Amino acid sequence: MKLLNQSTVLNMIRLKEPISRAEIAKLTKLTPPTISSLVAELIEKNLIVEEQSTSATSGGRKPILLRINYSAYYIIGVYAAAEVIRVILTTMDGKIVTDFSKDITELPTKTEFMSMMIECIHYVLQTAHIERELILGIGIAMHGLVDSEQGLAIFSPHLHLENIPLKERIEKEFNIPVIVENDVRALAIAESWFGQGKGVSDFICLSVGRGIGSGIFINSEIYKSTFYTAGEVGHTILDVNGPLCECGNNGCLEAYASEVAILNKAKEELKNHQDTILTEWLKDNSTELSLNMVYKAAKKGDPFAISLLEKAGQSLGLAAANMINILKPSKIIVEGGIFEVGDFVLSQLKKRIEKYTFKSSHEEIKVVCSELGKTGMVLGAVTLVLKKLFKA
């Protein structure tokens, strides 16, 4: 109960700072003596600091106000994907102190993958010269199916790995508490604290990269489901006779609109579009077609490249419309490189949402691009620890 009350007071200060002891007592319904005792302990732990108010109360005295001491402790965030492991060290307000990434160039074994992650965390700790006692926790945002209660990566489709004991292994190595979550759910949590989801109780975060996933916020809480696998919108079916997906099924959204799907479609149809600028760029055979080339061609107004992105946007729009019809969020936050190329994908996504959602006249569902971008994933890993600290 005492720890819970400490977290309640800490979170109230975070939300309302600077704030007086009397105001905290009024808002939390805890007694003034209890507040004084809790605040004294939090000051002793260096988690909060006092400051003099600039304005006086009715009695003429200037009250002592409280703030969070964000630089007192640190958090490690890890983003683990099929192509990269990124580790950051931040202060308690999410400000990045150290940032390190290691590319994954070929598929690792489970042991190799864990060794790479441990090596990256050690590197960040050594580079930052931070005492281990000042690290509050390690958050891990992992791609694929994740059991957040057990801290287990159940299945990582792009790494072709199963049952990776992330929490157990990392806690044993560093003796620091570890929290594990799916990467897109972590992104949604980061959006709720630092991004476009701040102050929004119901929203969906749609992330498009090598795969496609979503984080669902309902009543200001991330939705996980009993099986910790909610939000796998990338494996909803658009056409049972469609292209084969990495998951083994046919016609998944991921097989139509992921970065891999767009590039595969470009390679497959290029021979039928000799007038595209891409043919000119590839004529000496010294370069292989890349997604960035498709993006660059689209920016230059190439009809073939634009059509590839617009079709991906239409597929994403259908999936988003279906999610909206079921969940009715007030906002859709989209994240991914394909949304940064121009309006090709987003405009088609919005058109499909407008056409295929069933809504009343008073409903307004905003579609916005994430301002956090890929940093949102690793920042989400940090936010997992912050949520536990503040019990928010």
pLDDT tens digits, 198-219: 999 999 999 999 999 999 999 9
Q: Residue 115 pLDDT more than 90?
A: yes
> Is 60 exceeded by the pLDDT of residue 58?
no
Return d(Cα 319, Cα 313) in angstroms, integer. Answer: 10
Mean pLDDT of 71-92: 97
What pLDDT is attached to residue 385?
97
Q: Are 286 and 298 in contact (CB under 8 A)?
A: no
Nearest to 178 by CA among 251, 265, 262, 80: 80
Task: Share the mean pLDDT of the chain.
Answer: 94
pLDDT of residue 60: 62
pLDDT at 18 exceeding the cut of 80: yes
Q: What confidence tens digit (pLDDT) does each residue in 335-376 have?
A: 999 999 999 999 999 999 999 999 887 888 999 999 998 899
Q: Which residues of 45-81 are buried (b: 16+ CB within 10 A; e: fewer)?
A: eebbbeeeeeeeeeeeeebebbebbeeebbbbbbbbb
What pLDDT does 56 receive? Answer: 63
Using the predicted structure, report yes or no on whether residue 52 has a pLDDT greater than 70.
yes
pLDDT over 70 for what percent of the chain?
Answer: 98
Q: What is the pTM of this model?
A: 0.93
Mean pLDDT over residues 314-333, rounded?
96
pLDDT at 227: 81
pLDDT at residue 13, as a whole number: 96
Query: Which residue pairs, CB below 8 angstroms and at least 24 apart, start in 114-119?
Result: 114/164, 114/166, 114/169, 116/85, 117/78, 117/80, 117/85, 117/87, 117/166, 117/170, 118/169, 118/170, 118/173
Q: Which residue has the higher pLDDT, 2 or 47?
A: 47
Residue 225 clears pLDDT 90, i.e. is over it: no
> Can you state the angle between helices 303-327 and 291-299, rounded to 10 degrees?
100
pLDDT digits (tens, 9 = 90+) for 244-295: 998 889 999 999 999 999 999 999 999 999 899 999 999 887 789 999 999 9
CA-based nearest residue to 138, from 89, 97, 105, 98: 89
Q: What is the mean pLDDT of residues 292-308?
A: 97
Peptide bond into 18 cis (omega under 30): yes
pLDDT at 97: 97
Torsions phi, psi of 236, nearest 5? -80, 145
Domains of the chain: 2-68 (1.10.10.10), 74-192+376-390 (3.30.420.40), 198-370 (3.30.420.40)
pLDDT for 59 equals 58
Distance between CA atoms of residues 74 and 150, nearest Å: 24
Residue 392 reports pLDDT greater than 90? no
Phi and psi angles of residue 229, each rounded to the nearest 5 degrees, phi first: -125, 15
Q: Which two tokens mark 174? A: 């560093």
Report d(CA 115, CA 372) in Å as an integer: 28
pLDDT at 374: 85
Q: What is the pLDDT of residues 123-164, one digit of tens each?
A: 999 999 999 999 999 999 999 999 999 999 999 988 999 999
pLDDT at 266: 97
